[in-house]
Amino acid sequence: DTFDMRNGETIARVRVAAVDSPEKNQPFGPEAKRLTEKMSLERTVTVRWKDYDKRYDRYIGYVNCPGNKDLGETLLKAGLAWHYRAYDKDDVLQGMEDEARKSHRGLWKDEKNACAPWDWRHGKKTAFFK
């Protein structure tokens, strides 16, 4: 859910707004990375800026990829991200996560053992992921 974007000679770190994907060393992290790369790597994307994160020196925004596909929405629908409710209250995005859970897509194949990235980063890994 974070990547480097080139705009001419400028490179900016971008975090996809409203979603949180598994970490790269977390189950389903590599799948989330592959989907993000498939949609955005070496492609022209449009970012609608939402905020700037000084702590991590990155911009936060909604990423529109070729084919008019929203990257955050695509990750949610594929079951490769959580809707980041702590920072976004959009009911439509929450519905996308809920539908992926209900359909057991991606990381929701075993929902009771899914570990949110914010817990994973703080060492609260479940036994399933050890």
Q: Which residues are catalytic?
A: 15, 23, 58
Structure token digits, residue 124 = 């609260």
Residue with the two structure tokens 């053992």:
113
Q: Note whether 17 and 72 are within 8 A (CB).
A: yes
Residues with Cβ within 8 Å of 53's Cβ and at least 6 positions away in sequence, in order, are: 15, 59, 60
